[in-house]
Chain A
Amino acid sequence: MLQLTGITKRFGRREVLHEINLSVGKGIIGLLGPNGAGKTTLLRLLATVYEPTSGSIRLNEITWSNQVEEARKRIGYLPQHVGLFPALTSYEYLDYIAILRGISSGKERRERIERVLREVNLENQTTTRIRRLSGGMKQRLGIAQAIIHDPELLLVDEPTAGLDPEERLRFRGLLRRLAEERIVILSTHITEDVSMTCDRVCMMKQGSLQYFPSLSDVVKLASGKVWTVSVPVEEYHRAGERQGLQIIHAAEMDGMFRLRLLSAEKPFPDALPTEPTLEEGYMTWLKAH
């Protein structure tokens, strides 16, 4: 169980995280928020890169403030920009990270490296220099370094940015598998990543966090506020300027525009209510906060 109690973080006078309280168990949890919401700061706090200004972090019996080295042994961290050594091969890199994770036995390191390379589907790239790997391969190598020591808590920051659709799907599958045995926190601003991989979600905006134990709780926020309607071109242009109305999706068909709209009120007389998605729930939450 990961417990965050009263976490705040200040950089000088600026408070970037306000009083965060959270308690989560095994499984994958999404951390969703716009750029600048404080997701990366929160992940860095969890990864021990930063220290909180106040509050405490606890993973089972380990507290971050007193047992930072023990905490680090239990954390796997894939930063937004994976820290790689481009001149090393995949194997050498993982070997180096394993040493820095305290795995001193050469035999154990070799076994673990072979296992994680298989898990991330990079077993054929053992001797390839990192600088020659594709973006997706680098991300998977980043995951490999984060799980080589079987962490209890895996922190993944914006992992799908820059991946092609196939790589993205593969990556999501990998995260789901990994979440079967540990707590995985996936930070992202892409709602699709969350809807495809997570059961629970934390929404963040301007340093504040709200926990939703189920994705449907987020979806429900937009219930009764999502509409579909077909309008002519002029109406479509006017709709874009209307207060309280947000166009989620627009598609042209036979001179008419088929719109999906987010609005508290019925936006057009012939608009029909429709089932909201996670993204619409997220947009509603952002507007409300």
Chain B
Amino acid sequence: MRKEWKQFWAQPQYWTLFVAAELIFVLVTLRLLEGWQDIPGMIFFIMAFNLLFLLYGAEQARLETKYHTPELVSSLPYAARYYGSKLLFWVSHAALWYAIFLGSLLVFLKFQLHNELSIAIVKIVISYTFYNWFVPFLVSMILGYALFTLWPSLVTYAVLVAVWILLSPYNHYVQLLPSQLFPWLAVSDVNFSITQHIYVTEHMIVNDGARWQRGLVVITAVAVYMLVIPVIRKLKVMRVLIPLLIIGIVLIPLLAPNQQISDISRGTALESNPYQSNDYEIEAYKMEIRHPRHDHAFSYTAEVSISTKSNEISFALWGTIHIDSLSWNGKQIPYTRSGNWVSLSLPKGSPGEGTLHLETSSEAYSDVNPTSFELLPTLPWYPMHPDEALDPMGHAKKERYEIKLNAKGFGGLVTNLTKGPGGTLSGETYGPMLLKARYERKGSIVRLVQYSQRTADQKWQSISKIVDKLNKQMKADVKLPQQMYVVSSWSLFSANPDAIFVTPLQISLEEKIRQTLFRQL
């Protein structure tokens, strides 16, 4: 690998090109940034770099052909080492330019833009840029070399440009290929336009699908590289390795999650209850919640302990959550749904106490995403008593909760319940709050790291001012809950006596506060 580096530095036409490109990056592009959250917007600059790496790979192959290197190398006993060290050189080469990019970016964010760069944010930036910058740089170089080695011709440059378009988000815009293929081809953040403002918990977070896709593209590039080099192709180990690689390349898109997040319609406000059957009380919940880490999917099983005086009961549950089974004291019972409400008739003679058993699943809950979810206690994602669902502040009632949560990253969960071993949660609260994303806490404010502390503070001040103003106007004495959570939930603004949940989006805050805290409709 050292010899490859020596050759590189002895060819000023190449390193000056890279250095010049880096300088342009540092001097021009960084000026366009306003914060670390804008990094995905540099996609076109990174695409230009991908092309540079692709052409550099091809140029290396062209020079080897020109200097007849492959013929000599293939007569050497350790020829495979030559190609192995070339691969390592590319890894180190991509790493060098990536490290310079990343370093200058972090320095710029910290010292020029004065961004608050916590360890969590630096980790996000490194992970994001590694998968969306470093990997495509490396893959481009390998493919450029492999394709030119396979077909050393001027036409190959046109092929390289086609490959470049195919592997970049541009392919998505021109829609040359079926849209199902796009997430498996694009070696870049395919979600940034919707995570910037909608699914903010996923903004710059590399999901499992993206990891699998990058793995797939690296495996494919290396496999192509190994296949086009006769010396490598003829190695005995390749007889086993190549079929394995091909199986992997076929199976990954079939079995692994997709990196793309669907842009589904977000929920609407909870309408009034058409069933008017709310003469019951919920004592406790036992739930097992599952987060399968893809798109907007989650499911749970709930056992709700209820005491009722009536045979007819209703509860709130988002219409996007499908009820797979529902039973009362072990017996399946019929139910009807209307919008976000469920009504059921209990068997005759049922009044008293019993357990409602629900199994639910959803593929379209917008507050659940591949790596994150925001399950707020104020929203009927779980079977909620109608009074509390319609007015979680005024009709708040505490229940007992025992929850088993099957989700990766349980340690980072922000919750109002007490964490136990093995993903268990328990406690008595107004509703279960399960926030799984990157949050930072400062005093009474917990915010998603994608939102700045300044934004969160401003929101808190605005809410306080409006509440003070309305208290004076109405001669009321509404007190703000102690805790504020700045989240990205579509609900925009909701509250119970313990907490306010708010997004930084421009909303009519005063109207929301009137409705939620002062109960003025």
Give residues in A with beta carbon < 8 Å to B: 44, 47-49, 51, 69-70, 72-73, 75, 77, 79-88, 92, 95-97, 99-102, 129, 145
Contacts and interface: CB of A to CB of B under 8 A. Distances in A.
B11 A87 contact: yes
B3 A85 contact: yes
B77 to A, nearest CB: 4
A80 B79 CA distance: 19
Contacts of A77: 72, 75
Contacts of A129: 10
B81 interface: yes
Contacts of B70: 83
B6 A87 contact: yes
Contacts of A73: 77
Contacts of A100: 73, 76-79, 81-82
Contacts of B79: 72, 100
A35 B71 CA distance: 19
B76 A81 contact: no
A85 B78 CA distance: 17
A85 B11 CA distance: 11
A82 B79 CA distance: 16
A84 B73 CA distance: 10
B77 A69 contact: yes
A64 B6 CA distance: 34
A129 B75 CA distance: 23
A84 B82 contact: no
Contact of B71 (A49, A51, A92, A99): A49
A37 to B, nearest CB: 19
B71 A83 contact: yes
Task: Select the residue from B11, B78, B81, B82 with max chain A CB neighbours within 10 A.
Answer: B78
Interface string B304-323: 00000000000000000000
Contacts of B71: 44, 49, 79, 81, 83
A99 B73 CA distance: 12
A72 B6 contact: no
Contacts of A92: 3, 6
A89 to B, nearest CB: 9
B462 interface: no
A72 B72 contact: no
Nearest to A131: B10
B442 interface: no
A261 to B, nearest CB: 40
B68 interface: yes
Nearest to A68: B234
A102 B74 CA distance: 14
Contact of B73 (A70, A83, A95): A83
B55 to A, nearest CB: 18
Contacts of B81: 99-100
B149 to A, nearest CB: 14
Task: Select the residue from B10, B74, B75 with max chain A CB neighbours within 10 A.
Answer: B75
B76 A97 contact: yes
Task: Select the residue from A77, A87, A97, A99 with max chain B CB neighbours within 10 A.
Answer: A87
Nearest to B67: A84
Interface in B40-99: 67-79, 81-82
B7 interface: yes
Nearest to A74: B77
Given A72-B77, A85-B67, A101-B77, A79 B72 contact: yes
Contacts of A99: 78, 81
A167 to B, nearest CB: 20
Contacts of B74: 48-49
Interface of B: 3, 6-7, 10-11, 67-79, 81-82, 234
Contact of B77 (A87, A88, A95, A102): A102
B377 to A, nearest CB: 65
Nearest to A81: B68
A49 B79 CA distance: 11
6 closest A-B pairs by beta carbon, nearest first, are A83-B72, A87-B10, A81-B68, A72-B77, A47-B75, A83-B69
Given A79-B71, A82-B68, A87 B76 contact: no
A81 B3 CA distance: 21
A103 to B, nearest CB: 10
A198 B339 CA distance: 97
Contacts of A72: 75-77, 79
A101 B7 CA distance: 20
A82 B72 contact: yes
Contacts of A145: 72
B83 to A, nearest CB: 10
B9 to A, nearest CB: 8
Nearest to B82: A100
A75 to B, nearest CB: 6
A140 to B, nearest CB: 15
Contacts of B68: 79-84
B11 A101 contact: no
Contacts of A85: 3, 7, 67, 69
A70 to B, nearest CB: 8
Contacts of B73: 83, 100
A47 B70 CA distance: 12
Task: Select the residue from B11, B72, B81 with max chain A CB neighbours within 10 A.
Answer: B72
Contacts of B75: 47-49, 72, 75, 77, 79
A113 to B, nearest CB: 14
A88 B7 contact: yes
A6 B77 CA distance: 25
Nearest to B70: A83
B239 to A, nearest CB: 14
18 contacts: A44-B71, A48-B74, A49-B74, A49-B75, A72-B77, A72-B79, A79-B68, A81-B71, A83-B72, A84-B67, A85-B69, A87-B7, A92-B6, A95-B3, A99-B78, A100-B76, A100-B79, A102-B78
B228 to A, nearest CB: 15
A88 B67 contact: no
Contacts of A79: 68, 71-72, 75
Contacts of A83: 67-73
Contacts of B72: 77, 79, 82-83, 145
A39 to B, nearest CB: 14
Nearest to A97: B76
Given A83-B71, A83-B72, A96-B3, A88 B78 contact: no
Nearest to A76: B75
Contacts of B78: 99-102
B305 to A, nearest CB: 73
Given A83-B67, A99-B78, A100-B73, 20 more contacts: A49-B74, A51-B234, A77-B75, A80-B68, A81-B68, A82-B72, A83-B69, A83-B72, A84-B69, A85-B3, A87-B10, A88-B6, A88-B7, A96-B3, A100-B76, A100-B77, A101-B76, A101-B78, A102-B77, A129-B10
Contacts of A86: 67
B71 to A, nearest CB: 5
Contacts of B10: 87-88, 129
